[in-house]
C-alpha cells in the first residue's frame, strides 16, 4: 500500500487507529479454546468488529511464535484473511527484525512475499545494511524503531552522543537518508509525548507508528496535537490490549468495537 | 545447558566451532529438492556429518521464516533432531529478537519452551526490559548483540557517547550488570578482531559468540589469541556458508565435514 492510499484511508475513516493483535491463548475468551484455531477465530472476530474504525492491524509476532507451528499457521491465516477481505487495510508485522544484508533479505521475503504484509518493524542496532534489505519493494514499508515506550527504552536510545544529540536522533538522522517517507516509517512511543514534537521537527514528513496509547499510558490528543506530519496526517496510533481485551467474555468483539470506536472519535477531532 | 557442560564439551572435542544453519533452498544441492522436507534433510545430513567437530548449531531464523509454514516446520524438526540425537550440543536460535517485557516473555517461551533451544540471540536497542525476559531460565542463555561484523555495524554501535566510550561498550557495561556469565553471552564480530582484545578486558568472563569467520573474513587464530575468557575458553566461533555450502553437489555433507574438521584443527591449537 503506498502513502497516497494510506492517507486516503485515514481521511475516509477519520481515524489513525492501528489495532495490535497481541493474541494470547491465556487471555482470549475461554469458549474460543474449543475451536480448531482459537487464535485465528479471535483475530477474525476482532477484525470483523473493528475494521470500520481501523486503518492498520499489527500482529505481534512473539505471540504467534510462542505457539510454535500452530501459531505460525494462525498468523498466516490472519494475514490472508485481512488481505482477502479488507485489502484497504494496512498490515504491519510487528517483528522487530534486523540482521545483515544476506539474512535481512530473507526476512523481507518472509514478511513481504511469503506472508504478504505491507510493512515490518525493524530494529536499528545493526545499521544501514540491516534496514536496506526491506527497502525498494513497491508499496511495502520498513518501520524502524526510533524511541520506544518501554522503561528500558531510555537505557541506550537516550544516551547522549559526543556529537551533541541522542542515539535515537542519530538513528533518525542517518536512516532518513536511506529512504524517503514513501517507504520508511518510525516507531515512536506515546509515553514520551514530550519527544514527539521534537521528533516531528527532525523528520517532518515520515509516518510515525505510535504505540503506548492505552495500557502503556499516553493520550491520543497529545500525540495528534504534536505528531502530525507536514505533508499529511502521517500518524498511526496503536492500541493492543485496550481494544482486543476490552472484555474477556463472549461479548469481546462488541467490546473491542466499542473501544475502537471511542478512540476513533477522539482521533477524528484532529484529522 | 549450563556453562560447565559447555566448557566440558569444548575440552572434549577440542573445538569452539558453531555451525550456522543458514539453509537456503536456492543453495542446497538440487537432488534434495525432490524430498518432502529438503531443508530438514539438508540440516540432518550436515549435522550428522559435522557433529563431532561442532560445539553448537545455530539455525538462522530468517531462512526458515522465508519459507513460511513449511520453513517453521523444518526448524522444529531440526531442533528436535538435535535435542534427541545430540543432547550434548549447544543450540542457538539466531533470531535477534528484542521487545518489551510482555512481548519478550513470549519470545522466550517460543525459543526456550516451545522449540527448546538452549539460547537465543537478542538485539539491545530496547534496553534492559527487552533482555531480562530471557534470563532466569535454568540452563538457558541470552546472547546479546554487542559489536556485529557487518559494514553497517559501525553506523550506531561505534558512535562515541558523551560519557567517553562507544555505544557497544555501553551495551556491555550495562548488560553485564543484568546477568552473570552463566546466562548471558555476547555477539562480537570477527571482522573487528582489533576490538576483541579490548572487549575481553571489559567482559573477561562472558562467552563470546563470534561470527564473521570464513565468508565474512576474520581468522580463527586472531579470535582465539585475543578472545579467550579468564575463566575458561569462553568462545564460540561461527561459520555458516563456509561449511554448509562447501560443496553444492551430492558430496555436500562430506565437504562440510572436511571444512568443519579443518576449522577444528586450527581451534585445537589454542584450547
Inter-residue contact B121 to B96 (CB < 8 Å): yes
Inter-residue contact A140 to A6 (CB < 8 Å): no
Yes or no, beta carbons of B152 and A130 under 8 Å apart: yes
Report the pLDDT value the prediction gives residue A149, as an integer from 0 to 100: 84
Yes or no, beta carbons of B107 and A62 under 8 Å apart: yes
pLDDT of residue A216 exceeding 70: no
Report the pLDDT value the prediction gives residue A218, as an integer from 0 to 100: 75
pLDDT band at A40 (very low <50, low <70, confident <90, very high): very high
Residues on chain A touching B127 (C-beta within 8 angstroms): 148, 150-157
Active site residues of B: 96
Orientation angle between helical segments B193-202 and B220-227, nearest 10 degrees: 20
pLDDT digits (tens, 9 = 90+) for A46-67: 999 999 999 999 999 999 999 9
Q: Choose the mutation target among B21, B73, B150, B217 for the interface with A, i.e. most A CBs under 10 Å.
A: B150
From the list A104, A148, A167, the residue facing B126 with the nearest CB is A148
Inter-residue contact A190 to A217 (CB < 8 Å): yes
Report the pLDDT value the prediction gives residue B12, as an integer from 0 to 100: 98
pLDDT band at A213 (very low <50, low <70, confident <90, very high): confident
As a whole number of angstroms, the longest Cα–Cα distance in chain A is 58
The residues in B 89-118 lying below 8 A from A, measured between CB atoms, are 96-104, 106-107, 109-111, 114-115
A165 touches chain B (CB under 8 A): no
State how far the Cα of B217 lies from the Cα of B233, in Å rounded to an integer. 22
Q: CB-based contacts of A163: which residues, under 8 Å, 6+ apart?
A: A170, B159, B160
Q: Choose the mutation target among B96, B116, B145, B164 for the interface with A, i.e. most A CBs under 10 Å.
A: B96
The residues in A 39-58 lying below 8 A from B, measured between CB atoms, are none
Here the contacts of B6-14 (C-beta below 8 Å, separation 24 or greater) are B6/B55, B6/B90, B6/B207, B7/B232, B7/B233, B9/B55, B9/B88, B9/B89, B9/B90, B10/B55, B10/B232, B10/B233, B10/B271, B11/B233, B11/B271, B13/B52, B13/B53, B13/B54, B13/B55, B13/B264, B14/B264, B14/B267, B14/B268, B14/B271
State how far the Cα of A174 lies from the Cα of B84, in Å rounded to an integer. 46
Residues A247-254 have a mean pLDDT of 97
Yes or no, beta carbons of A149 and B60 under 8 Å apart: no
Inter-residue contact B155 to A174 (CB < 8 Å): yes
Yes or no, beta carbons of B159 and A167 under 8 Å apart: yes
- Strands of B72-140 (E only): list them: 90-97, 119-122
Yes or no, beta carbons of B152 and A170 under 8 Å apart: no
**Domain that residue A224 falls in:** 3-268
Q: From the CA of A10, how many Å to the nearest CA of chain B?
A: 28
Q: How many CA atoms lie within 13 A of B97 on its CB side?
A: 34
Report the pLDDT value the prediction gives residue B192, as an integer from 0 to 100: 64
As given in the structure block, the three cell numbers for residue A192 are 514520551
> Among the options A44, A73, A77, A96, which is catalytic?
A96
Q: CA dihedral defined by B79, B119, A144, B65, rounded to 10 degrees?
A: 0
As given in the structure block, the three cell numbers for residue B164 are 567517553
Residues A168-172 have a mean pLDDT of 98
Yes or no, beta carbons of A96 and B159 under 8 Å apart: no
Q: From the CA of A210, how many Å to the nearest CA of chain B?
A: 14
Report the pLDDT value the prediction gives residue B194, as an integer from 0 to 100: 78
pTM greater than 0.90 (yes/no): yes
Residues on chain A touching B106 (C-beta within 8 angstroms): 24, 60, 62-63, 65-66
Q: Choose the mutation target among B21, B70, B124, B156 for the interface with A, i.e. most A CBs under 10 Å.
A: B156
Residues on chain A touching B72 (C-beta within 8 angstroms): 68-69, 72
Q: The domain spanning residue B201 has which CATH number?
A: 3.20.20.70
Rounded to the nearest integer, the mean pLDDT of chain A is 95
Phi/psi class of residue B24: alpha, beta or left (left: φ > 0; alpha: ψ in -120 to 50)?
beta
Q: Of all helices (H) and strands (E), which one includes residue A75?
A: helix A68-85
Residues A226-254 have a mean pLDDT of 96
- The stretches in chain B having pLDDT less than 50 are none
pLDDT digits (tens, 9 = 90+) for A121-159: 999 999 999 999 999 999 999 999 999 989 999 999 999
Report the pLDDT value the prediction gives residue A62, as an integer from 0 to 100: 97
The residues in B 202-261 lying below 8 A from A, measured between CB atoms, are none
Task: Please report the sign of the dihedral spanned by the C-alpha atoms of residue B156, residue B157, residue B159, residue B163.
Answer: positive
Q: Choose the mutation target among A79, A99, A133 for the interface with B, i.e. most B CBs under 10 Å.
A: A99
pLDDT digits (tens, 9 = 90+) for A75-99: 999 999 999 999 999 999 999 999 9
pLDDT digits (tens, 9 = 90+) for A116-128: 999 999 999 999 9
Report the pLDDT value the prediction gives residue B220, as an integer from 0 to 100: 93
Count the domains in chain B. Answer: 1
Yes or no, beta carbons of A98 and B156 under 8 Å apart: no
pLDDT digits (tens, 9 = 90+) for A179-210: 999 999 999 998 766 789 999 999 999 999 99
Yes or no, beta carbons of A60 and B170 under 8 Å apart: no
- In degrees, to the nearest 5, what angle opens at C-alpha A227 toward C-alphas A222 and A228? 120
State how far the Cα of B134 lies from the Cα of B140, in Å rounded to an integer. 8
Task: Say whether A96 is catalytic.
Answer: yes
Yes or no, beta carbons of A156 and B148 under 8 Å apart: no
Amino acid at each position: 500500500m503506498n502513502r497516497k492510499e494510506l492517507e486516503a484511508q485515514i481521511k475516509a475513516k477519520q481515524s489513525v487507529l492501528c489495532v495490535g493483535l497481541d493474541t494470547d491463548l491465556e487471555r482470549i475468551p475461554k469458549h474460543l479454546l474449543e475451536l480448531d484455531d482459537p487464535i485465528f477465530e479471535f483475530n477474525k472476530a476482532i477484525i470483523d468488529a473493528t475494521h470500520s474504525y481501523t486503518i492498520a492491524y499489527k500482529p505481534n509476532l512473539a505471540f504467534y511464535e510462542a505457539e510454535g507451528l500452530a501459531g505460525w499457521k494462525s498468523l498466516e491465516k490472519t494475514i490472508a484473511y485481512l488481505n482477502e477481505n479488507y485489502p484497504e487495510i494496512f498490515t504491519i508485522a510487528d517483528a522487530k527484525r534486523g540482521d545483515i544484508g544476506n539474512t535481512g533479505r530473507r526476512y523481507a521475503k518472509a514478511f513481504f512475499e511469503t506472508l504478504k504484509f505491507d510493512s515490518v518493524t525493524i530494529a536499528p542496532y545493526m545499521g544501514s545494511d540491516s534496514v536496506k534489505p526491506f527497502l525498494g519493494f513497491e508499496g511495502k514499508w520498513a518501520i524502524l524503531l526510533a524511541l520506544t515506550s518501554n522503561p528500558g527504552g531510555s537505557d541506550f536510545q537516550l544516551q547522549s552522543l559526543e556529537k551533541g544529540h541522542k542515539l535515537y536522533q542519530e538513528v533518525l538522522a542517518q536512516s532518513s537518508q536511506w529512504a524517503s517517507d514513501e517507504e520508511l516509517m518510525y516507531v515512536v512511543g506515546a509515553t514520551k509525548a514530550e519527544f514527539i514534537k521534537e521528533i516531528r521537527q527532525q523528520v517532518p514528513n515520515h509516518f510515525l507508528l505510535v504505540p503506548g496509547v492505552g495500557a502503556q499510558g499516553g493520550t491520543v490528543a497529545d500525540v495528534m496535537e504534536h505528531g502530525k506530519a507536514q505533508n499529511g496526517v502521517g500518524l498511526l496510533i496503536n492500541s493492543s490490549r485496550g481494544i482486543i481485551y476490552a472484555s474477556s467474555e463472549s461479548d469481546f468483539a462488541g467490546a473491542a468495537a466499542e473501544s475502537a470506536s471511542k478512540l476513533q472519535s477522539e482521533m477524528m477531532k484532529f484529522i
